[in-house]
């Protein structure tokens, strides 16, 4: 096939050939952290995390807080789902979970200096609105008992329109939630039936419009490209329907096919669009969303130009954490609930990923830490480079040199040499004082970041299997 695809990314043109797509569409991490989670291990435990929390309190200026609560329950499994979920139709499962979550919160908050304010709170899942409105009010009250909030805190929640009532939305707005992220994925009936997620457009649109009347500051919607039976035409229709709804932000995730981790994904494998066919679906979404005025922020995310993510990107203050892109670069992240992740300047840690182990640790009066890692000075340096690539598409060498006391060209001589190949393919430009990501490099940004990942070169890591970069 000799056909090439030409695209316009925020004013810069890029051309992609099938050969380049093959070359760069390889398994690779998504860099929600660096070092990435497969590097963390159980040599790092609860006491290490507790000590890291105490050290964070003792800093001259302790960082503000970003809190993440994982609410894992869903009524039924969507077959594509790669999240950490607990599927149950028995609503009583929430009682023990909320009890344990409150115990965890009490222990964690005892180790956080009370003057440190919460600047960001996020409830993710699973489906947080699996909780009843009363349970939501009750959990929120417990959080307020243990933590104090900055007046302009970002308070967000993921909602599944199929499991969310107008009452849920009113309760959330009254509590002070100001950000919603709505799971949509695809409006096509055949795609929806195949992935066991039937979600009518009318129901979704009605809930979306209702939320608008409640005055949430920002509404995001999630779509996935590369789902079974998706075609250019069918996904184009989904994208048009989304544009008509006019959300503030849109995530167009690349479907992550990992049947060795999520067996149920195997059921529709033969109907998946692949390679150039899958990429064309994304390419069309980029064209339609940018024509409609959205800006491509990077790594699957789009936002209106007046959205604070765009402003932060222009000012090079944009940051990335486990919840995606954020303007809250300076926060320490504390994750509560099953499988949740905490990320401090020099530490990552993850809670037990299954309910019995999570409950058992809390019942023993312990922190439910399963694994983690101390982030070395070299890791922090590489993380800074990777984050700048992912968030700003630009690394200014002198900034890194000042921050980390290194000579960039000497320290990264090997990496700069490896970038030569990506420069020939027009993904990146190596200049004297900077590394600039080119338009095509914004699509293959994970591949550029991978050049700076010291762990990918180790034999253990080469055996890990990630999803493909596109
Ligand atoms: C926790 S869910 C969102 C909330 C809610 N459970 C729902 O589905 O509406 C987070 C998002 O992850 C994305 N997601 C889940 N599995 C995925 C996969 N295998 N590949 C790409 N994105 C995926 C979906 O877009 C989903 O909306
Ligand atoms: S996509 Fe959302 S609703 Fe579906 S199983 Fe995953 S977490 Fe649950």
Pick out the chain residues at pLDDT < 50. Answer: 1
CA proximity to 298, closest of 280, 316, 273, 274: 316
Give me the number of domains the chain comprises. 2
Task: Please give the distance, rounded to the nearest whole angstrom, from the Cα atom of residue 72 to the centre of ligand 2.
Answer: 9
314 and 394 housed in the same domain:
no
> Does residue 351 fall inside a structural domain?
no
Residue 393: give the domain boundaries.
5-29+377-456
pLDDT at residue 27, rounded to an integer: 83
Atom of ligand 1 nearest to the CA of 258: 19
Give the integer Cα–Cα distance in Å for 32 and 40.
14
CA proximity to 320, closest of 377, 251, 265, 389: 389
Q: Cα-flanking dihedrals φ and ψ of residue 125, to 5°?
A: -155, -160
| pTM for this prediction | 0.95
Residue 179 per-residue DSSP state: E
270 and 416 housed in the same domain:
no
> Does residue 228 fall inside a structural domain?
yes
pLDDT at residue 303, rounded to an integer: 97
| Atom 16 of ligand 1, residue of closest alpha carbon | 81
Mutate to test the pocket of ligand 2, among 72, 85, 263 (most ligand atoms within 8 A of CB): 85
pLDDT at residue 321, rounded to an integer: 85
274 and 151 housed in the same domain:
yes
Helix (H) or strand (E) holding 282: helix 275-291
Atom of ligand 2 nearest to the CA of 197: 4
Q: Cβ(342)–Cβ(335) under 8 Å?
A: yes
Question: Given 303, 336, 369, which residue is the final one in a domain?
Answer: 336
Mutate to test the pocket of ligand 2, among 129, 164, 181, 183 (most ligand atoms within 8 A of CB): 183
In three-state form (DSSP H/G/I as H, E/B as E, the rest C), the secondary structure along 80-149 is CCCCCCEECCCHHHHHHHHHHHHHHHHHHHHCCCCCCCEEEEEEEECCHHHCCHHHHHHHHHHHHHHCCE
> Does residue 369 fall inside a structural domain?
no
CA proximity to 221, closest of 234, 209, 233: 209
83 and 15 housed in the same domain:
no
217 and 308 housed in the same domain:
yes
Give the integer Cα–Cα distance in Å for 171 and 176.
9
Q: What is the CATH number of the domain that holds 406?
A: 1.10.10.920
CB count within 10 Å of CB 64 equals 17
| Atom 7 of ligand 2, residue of closest alpha carbon | 126
Please work out whether the CB of residue 83 comes within 6 Å of at least one atom of ligand 2: yes
Residue 27 to residues 18, 346, 446: CA-CA distances in angstroms? 17, 27, 10
Give the integer Cα–Cα distance in Å for 354 and 337.
10
221 and 329 housed in the same domain:
yes
Q: Cβ(368)–Cβ(50) under 8 Å?
A: no
pLDDT at residue 1, rounded to an integer: 46
| Residue range 419-440, pLDDT digits in tens | 999 999 999 999 999 999 999 9
Task: Please give the distance, rounded to the nearest whole angstrom, from the Cα atom of residue 347 to the centre of ligand 2.
Answer: 29
Tokens of 48: 């290490």
> Does residue 367 fall inside a structural domain?
no
169 and 240 housed in the same domain:
yes
171 and 289 housed in the same domain:
yes
73 and 209 housed in the same domain:
yes
Question: Given 305, 336, 367, which residue is the final one in a domain?
Answer: 336
41 and 25 housed in the same domain:
no
Please work out whether the CB of residue 300 comes within 6 Å of at least one atom of ligand 1: no
Question: Given 281, 306, 336, which residue is the final one in a domain?
Answer: 336
> Does residue 103 fall inside a structural domain?
yes
Mutate to test the pocket of ligand 2, among 70, 160, 185 (most ligand atoms within 8 A of CB): 160
Could you say which ligand is closest to the alpha carbon of residue 186? 1
Q: Cβ(181)–Cβ(127) under 8 Å?
A: no
Give the integer Cα–Cα distance in Å for 392 and 437.
9
Mutate to test the pocket of ligand 1, among 86, 253, 337 (most ligand atoms within 8 A of CB): 253
Q: How far is C-alpha 367 from the chain's CA centre? A: 25
Please work out whether the CB of residue 456 comes within 6 Å of at least one atom of ligand 1: no
Atom of ligand 2 nearest to the CA of 82: 6
Please work out whether the CB of residue 83 comes within 6 Å of at least one atom of ligand 1: yes
Could you say which ligand is closest to the alpha carbon of residue 77? 2
> Does residue 347 fall inside a structural domain?
no
> Does residue 341 fall inside a structural domain?
no
């Amino acid at each position: 096939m000799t056909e090439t695809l030409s695209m316009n990314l925020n004013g810069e043109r890029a051309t992609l050939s099938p050969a380049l797509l093959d070359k760069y569409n390889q398994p690779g991490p998504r860099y929600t952290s660096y070092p990435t989670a497969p590097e963390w291990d159980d040599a790092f435990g609860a006491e290490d995390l507790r000590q890291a929390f105490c050290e964070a309190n003792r800093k001259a200026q302790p960082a503000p807080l970003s809190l993440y609560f994982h609410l894992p329950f869903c009524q039924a499994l969507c077959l594509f789902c790669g999240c950490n979920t607990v599927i149950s139709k028995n609503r009583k499962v929430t009682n023990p979970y909320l009890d344990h979550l409150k115990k965890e919160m009490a222990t964690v908050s005892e180790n956080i200096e009370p003057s440190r304010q919460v600047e960001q709170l996020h409830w993710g899942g699973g489906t947080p609105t699996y909780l009843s409105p009363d349970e939501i009010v009750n959990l929120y009250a417990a959080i307020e008992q243990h933590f104090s909030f900055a007046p302009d805190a970002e308070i967000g929640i993921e909602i599944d329109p199929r499991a969310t009532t107008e009452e849920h939305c009113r309760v959330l707005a009254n509590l002070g939630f100001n950000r919603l992220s709505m799971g949509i994925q695809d409006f096509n009936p055949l795609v929806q039936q195949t992935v066991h997620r039937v979600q009518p457009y009318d129901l979704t649109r009605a809930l979306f419009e209702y939320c608008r009347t409640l005055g949430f500051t920002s509404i995001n919607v999630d779509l996935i490209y590369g789902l079974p039976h998706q075609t250019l035409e069918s996904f184009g229709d989904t994208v048009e329907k989304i544009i008509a709804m006019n959300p503030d932000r849109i995530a167009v995730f690349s479907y992550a096919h990992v049947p060795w981790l999520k067996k149920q994904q195997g059921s529709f494998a033969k109907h998946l669009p692949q390679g150039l066919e899958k990429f064309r679906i994304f390419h069309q979404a980029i064209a339609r969303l940018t024509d409609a005025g959205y800006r491509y922020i990077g790594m699957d995310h789009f936002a209106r130009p007046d959205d604070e993510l765009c402003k932060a990107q222009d000012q090079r203050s944009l940051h990335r954490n486990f919840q995606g892109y954020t303007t809250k670069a300076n926060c320490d992240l504390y994750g509560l609930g099953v499988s949740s992740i905490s990320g401090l300047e020099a530490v990552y840690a993850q809670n037990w990923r299954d309910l019995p182990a999570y409950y058992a640790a809390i019942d023993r009066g312990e922190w439910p830490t399963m694994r983690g890692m101390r982030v070395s000075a070299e890791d922090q340096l590489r993380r800074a480079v990777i984050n700048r690539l992912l968030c700003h598409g630009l690394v200014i060498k002198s900034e890194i040199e000042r921050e980390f006391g290194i000579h960039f060209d000497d320290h990264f001589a090997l990496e700069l040499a490896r970038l030569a190949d990506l420069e020939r393919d027009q993904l990146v430009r190596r200049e004297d004082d900077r590394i600039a990501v080119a338009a095509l490099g914004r699509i293959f940004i994970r591949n550029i970041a991978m050049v700076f990942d010291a762990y990918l070169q180790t034999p253990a890591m080469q055996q890990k299997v990630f999803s493909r970069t596109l």
